[in-house]
A and B are shown apart, each in its own frame.
Chain A
Amino acid sequence: MFDKILIANRGEIALRVLRACKELGIATVAVHSTADEDAMHVRLADESVCIGPPAAKDSYLNIPALLAACEITGADAVHPGYGFLSENARFAEILAEHNVHFIGPRPEHIRLMGDKIAAKRAAQELGIPVVPGSDGDVGSEAQAQRLAQEIGYPLMLKAAAGGGGRGMRVVSEPTQLGSALASARAEAKAAFGDDTLYLEKYLTRPRHIEIQVLGDGNGAAIHLGERDCSLQRRHQKIWEEGPSPALNSNTRDEIGETVAKAMRAIKYLGVGTVEFLYENGEFYFIEMNTRIQVEHPVTEMITDIDLILEQVRVAAGGALQMTQDGLKFYGHAIECRINAENPVSFRPSPGKIVHYHPPGGLGVRVDSAVYNGYTIPPYYDSLVGKLIVRGKTRSECLMRLRRALDEFVVDGVETTLPLFRALVQEKEVIDGQYHIHWLEEFLARGGLPG
């Protein structure tokens, strides 16, 4: 087991990692920028090292500074948290060269899943269902028509060199395909200098369902169930829950086992999340995240397993403590990501929190690094904290969430708490009948009075 872990992150996840280290009796080093001198985890850590000015590129992304901090503190492992360098294969390799353990997957798996096309191909080879589509360029109109027949409409034409929502075109019926192809090619050529197009089935109202996995690096791996993260705004998750209201235990077991089997085949080490779009009873792989995720507490609350602890354990060469059959799920959990933003305009609202009272009581967990008098710096994300509640049933969970949201006080900055208070009253949220466009449609029709 490690003697000293350097936490290469900030905010609530740094505090989360620190808590796990303390419970394991591992010494902690908190690295921080000058803007985070007063951070809660910095105060609680055994040692702290200031590694740079506020800008992330000069501090939390500054690999030489992080390495130097490992050197002067004698840390034998680094936990990268999420974001920042958590999926930077080069960082993992450099640490290894300096005999410091990277608490995460092997660099080759980080790299594989970081390349979205390679990841999709790998998923396919491992038997994980992917979005049906062309293998490479879609070819001539005739070839496209044939493929479209197989896949079914609607479908999406995508520029291979595109991205960020550009170079995509939805085709709803066969008669549109010919002209759509021609103009999409011309557009792609003009915009990206490359007219390569590929075709994919277009999912209109899918849910975002992801599977949590844990592997020991030696061929043993389990899944820890799913999280439904369909409620998103601009591709940012704000509400996550587990189990998904859309799945029954058979479906869960099936997709879970498919994913776990794939992780066993590649001898995956550490935690990871395989993300899917789910529509009409079918799963479609989008990507895999080779790190701990923001919404990991949802899984922890329904399995009673400390995922950070497990991460550290397997990184130190430990074996999995549980088998798939031995894993039980208890009740339901919902997480709300509370941001320091205006709840209607979502404009960031950094500043000093003059009064902070988080909710408590049975089944209520708040993962936050904020405290009374804390000033949220403007240089990083606007997450105030995560409110996670659990209940024996989804109904009980919702009641508890409503109560906890009403008790939560954050004065001094604007927060998205009003948004969540509104969401828990919405019929479709209460019924669990939502999809990845639902939240934006709710906001567009003025769901939250301004």
Chain B
Amino acid sequence: MARKSDSPGTPAIDHEAIRELAKLLDETGLTEIAVERDGVSIRVARHSGGAVARGRSVEAAAPPTTVAATPLPVDPAQHPGVVASPMVGTAYLAPEPGARPFVEVGTLVKTGEPLMIIEAMKTMNQIPAPRAGTVIQILVDDGQPVEYGQPLMIIE
């Protein structure tokens, strides 16, 4: 998104600069860059779409066809269906960058099915589902560092 300056004698839109900024945005993974020079300001922003619903409300997460879900306690760690991290590392929700995540909210899993990967020192460790059920909440983001015992997901 670029904005023309209001001052008279406005110079032509600097496509080159916009393209540069957009490229910079992609390369750095930033969500917004704004530049101002000689009274001209350019702002390039990315809107992330299709974010996985990591809602705090049960209603948004639970699919309508299932039996009424247990209301989530304030502290997810107390939920009986919580899956806690068995190790320290970085959580990845998909088998590799760009691939579909292992599970999503609403996915039905069997015992032992991989839920996510926790990477530590270049080794990928698949985290298996400790029980069968439905994933009702995913508590970590892709690429988030996790500690031992940290609640990762809730499976009911």
A residues with CB within 8 A of B: 34, 48-53, 59, 64-65, 67-69, 71-73, 98
The smallest C-beta distance from B115 to any residue of chain A, in angstroms, reads 18
A64 pairs with B90, CB closer than 8 A: no
Given contacts A68-B89, A72-B90, A72-B145, contact A98 B121 (CB under 8 A): yes
In the complex, 16 of the A-B residue pairs with CB atoms within 8 angstroms, ordered by the A residue number, are A34-B149, A48-B147, A49-B147, A50-B147, A51-B147, A51-B148, A64-B120, A67-B121, A68-B87, A68-B88, A68-B89, A69-B147, A71-B120, A71-B121, A72-B88, A72-B145
Per the bound structure, the CA–CA distance linking A130 and B51 in Å amounts to 70
| A65-B148 contact, Cβ under 8 Å, with A51-B88, A72-B88, A72-B89 | yes
B-side interface residues toward A, CB under 8 Å? Answer: 87-90, 120-121, 145-150
Report Cα–Cα, A72/B148, bound state, in Å.
Answer: 12
Q: Assuming A51-B147, A52-B148, what are 17 further A-B pairs, CB within 8 angstroms?
A: A34-B148, A49-B148, A51-B148, A53-B148, A59-B148, A64-B87, A64-B120, A64-B121, A65-B87, A65-B88, A65-B148, A68-B87, A68-B88, A71-B89, A71-B120, A72-B89, A98-B121
Q: Report the minimum CB–CB distance from A410 to chain B (whole Å).
A: 30
**CB distance A67 to B120 under 8 Å?**
yes
Taking a contact as CB atoms closer than 8 A, the residue among A34, A49, A98 that contacts B88 in the complex is A49
B118 CB to closest chain A CB, in angstroms? Answer: 9
Q: Which 10 A-B pairs have the closest CB atoms?
A: A72-B145, A68-B120, A68-B88, A50-B147, A50-B148, A49-B147, A68-B89, A52-B148, A65-B88, A69-B88
Main secondary structure of the interface of B (DSSP, over half): loop
Q: Give the distance to chain A from B98, nearest Cβ to Cβ, in Å.
A: 22
How many Å lie between the Cα of A72 and that of B143 in the bound state? 10
Contacts of A71 in B (CB 8 A): 89-90, 120-121
Give the residues in chain A near B88, CB-CB below 8 Å. Answer: 49-51, 65, 68-69, 72
**In the complex, chain B residues whose CB is within 8 Å of the CB of A34:** 148-149
Smallest CB separation, A64 vs chain B (Å)? 7
Nearest Cβ in chain A — how far from B32, in angstroms?
25
Query: What CA separation (Å) do A1 and B148 show in the bound complex?
Result: 29
Query: With a CB–CB cut-off of 8 A, which chain B residues contact A53?
Result: 148
CB-defined contacts of B120 to chain A, threshold 8 Å: 64, 67-68, 71
- B90, B120, B148, B149 pick with most chain A CB within 10 angstroms: B148
